[in-house]
Amino acid sequence: MAKLWGGRFEGATDKSAYEFNASLPFDHILYHEDIEGSIAHAGMLCRQGILTEEEKDRITEGLRQICTDIESGAIEITDEYEDIHSLVESILTERIGDAGKKLHTGRSRNDQVALDMKLYARSRIDRLSEAVKELQEALLSKMEENVDTYMPGFTHLQKAQPVTLAHHLGAYYEMFLRDRSRLANTRKVMNTCPLGAGALAGTTYPLDRQYTSDLLQFDRPTMNSMDSVSDRDYLIELMSDLSLIMMHLSRFAEEIILWNSDEYRFVEIDDGFSTGSSIMPQKKNPDIAELIRGKTGRVYGDLMALLTTMKALPLAYDKDMQEDKEAAFDAIDTTLSCLMLFTGMLKTMRFRKEVMEKSAERGFTNATDVADYLVRRGLPFRDAHTVTGHLVLKAIGEGKSLSELSLSDYRKESPLFEEDIYEAISLKECVERRQTLGAPGREAMEKVISQYKKMNQ
Ligand code: ARG
């Protein structure tokens, strides 16, 4: 067991305590960020005259080699080291000798880990954002293909008014737009460099914190060393962003599961994204969509775990904070894989346009339009609502749709009805009359789509 802090100790660490305390089994994935941070730190130490040029070069070269060796598997991640920081520093010292021992000058693992996590979160935010963008692109092309695909819009899961598939998908597009701006905002708020905060109280060395901040592409250094080492807000914010992304994916997945059922038959999920049953030969199950829905709970759990961990921690660093890692890594990995799978599933899914249209024709989705027809002929909306209600009641009694009632049925309820009522309540007309911004009418929809295209460039 190679320890960075053995000097003060006489007794050995209990084996189970050592294992309990170690974070290497999960923080080894931070090796790249840890090395990148150390290279910047060494560069700054040299610039400030704390390391010689030669020492800096040996450190930098040694660290680069360690990075390569971890990637190739030449360095094995074993339980010999407590965490990724110890591993990198110990191996560096083994390889380059005394210069390696100087790397930690003016630094603590507290500001080191704070930096590593920020670098990691930042690069994952960029990747996540890209994945949301790819999903939006897939959505947008489905939307463009379906500005004329009529389907029922629902409230209370009851048919309400006709919309188009483009319009329904557009609702998710909006959610993902918000998700991306939330990610961008989290990135912006967190982009300050904690390196140089030391254990909690800064250091006695003349560090140039602005320089390391610039090297690592932060907007500026953090301004309170205690907060720097104990801030995990950005991980909580990120996990909250991820929880919302997962909620959106889950709602979408739920609709796809319903639509893929024999009761709806609106879509057919491709074989590539379905699985079968070991006993029922006829089955083709939407497991991927179900798992995405299921994993949402897991990401919420990760968020709750860190919120709870942080809630009563006294300043500054406490070891409790090591618990940020598994939760954050899990939430990030889970969300990223769900986003990518969802995109694949969406791209290959078959939309049964005829079934959707038929469904929109049933269930009195055009009742509002009957009332609107009367309003256009001068009847106050509240009276038009009542007249239409009577017509719906009559149609239900006779097992007909509103378009199947005769003109005399209509005129019995109101003399304002003319032959053109049938055209006015056709599916096409019902949708096409809805041209307010954000509505499903073709023109309104196309304007929005072209707006989205511009935004996505
Ligand atoms: N593994 C630790 C963590 O993730 C690194 C920081 C250790 N600092 C300390 N004072 N023990 O939080």
Contact 194, 218 (CB under 8 A): no
Choose one of 8, 83, 321 to mutate for the ligand 1 pocket test, by most ligand atoms within 8 angstroms of C-beta.
83
CA of 229 to the centre of ligand 1 (A): 10
List the chain domain ranges.
15-105, 110-146+163-200+229-358, 361-446
CA 363, CA 152: separation in Å to the nearest integer? 9
Give the number of residues written for the chain: 457
> By the 8 A CB rule, do 405 and 391 touch?
yes
Q: Distance between CA atoms of 294 and 291, rounded to whole angstroms? A: 5
Closest atom of ligand 1 to 117 CA is 4
Confidence tier at 279 by pLDDT (50, 70, 90) = confident
**Cβ density class 244-259: b for 16+ within 10 Å, e for less:** bbbbbbbebbebbbeb
Show the beta-strand stretches assigned E in 84-134.
Answer: none
Residues forming beta bridges with residue 161, ordered by sequence position: 153
pLDDT at residue 2 tops 70: no
From ligand 1's centre to the CA of 457, what distance in Å?
A: 41
Q: Could you tell me the CA-to-CA distances from 267 to 52, 167, 283, 339, 363 in Å, in that order?
A: 66, 16, 16, 19, 19
Rounded to a whole number of angstroms, the CA Rg of the chain reads 31
Largest Cα–Cα separation, the chain: 101
Quick one: how many helices (H) and strands (E) in the chain?
Answer: 20, 6
Q: What is the mean pLDDT of the chain?
A: 96
Give the whole-angstrom CA distance, residue 292 versus residue 334: 9
pLDDT band at 1 (very low <50, low <70, confident <90, very high): low
Where are any strands of DSSP class E within 219-287?
220-221, 267-268
Degrees (nearest 5) of the Cα angle 413, 416, 417?
75
Residues acting as catalytic residues: 156, 277
Residue 276 has pLDDT above 90, yes or no: no
Angle subtended by helix axes 53-72 and 84-96, to nearest 10:
120
Exposed/middle/buried for residue 92 (C-beta within 10 Å: 0-12, 13-18, 19+): buried
pLDDT tens, 364-386? 999 999 999 999 999 999 999 99
Rounded-to-integer distance, Cα 85 and Cα 384, Å? 73
Around ligand 1, the residues with Cβ closer than 6 Å are: 23, 27, 83, 109-110, 113, 317, 319, 321-322, 325
- Which of 306, 315, 327, 328 has the alpha carbon at shortest distance from 119? 328
Report the C-alpha gap between 216 and 133 in whole angstroms: 25
| pLDDT tens string 171-182 | 999 999 999 999
Q: What is the pTM of this model?
A: 0.95
Say how far residue 118 (Cα) sits from the centre of its chain: 18
Q: Quote the ligand 1 centre to 13 CA distance (angstroms).
A: 16
Distance CA 359, CA 154 (A): 11
Can you tell me whether residue 452 is helix, strand or coil?
Answer: helix
Summarised one tens digit per residue, pLDDT across range 56-113 is: 999 999 999 999 999 999 999 998 999 999 999 999 999 999 999 999 999 999 999 9
Instruction: Evaluate whether the domain defined by 110-146+163-200+229-358 bears CATH number 3.30.70.120.
Output: no
Q: Which residues contact 178 (CB under 8 A, 6 or more apart)?
A: 244
Q: Class assignment of domain 15-105?
A: mainly alpha
Nearest CA to ligand 1 atom 7: 109
Nearest CA to ligand 1 atom 2: 322
Distance 300 CA to ligand 1 centre (A): 25
CA distance 413 to 388: 8
Residue 278's pLDDT is what? Answer: 85
**Amino acid at position 396, single letter:** I
| CA-to-CA dists, residue 191 to 11, 123, 132, 197, 408, angstroms | 42, 11, 21, 15, 70
Instruction: Decide if domain 361-446 falls under CATH 1.10.40.30.
Output: yes
Question: Percent of the chain, pLDDT > 90?
Answer: 94
What CA–CA distance (Å, rounded) separates 344 from 138?
9
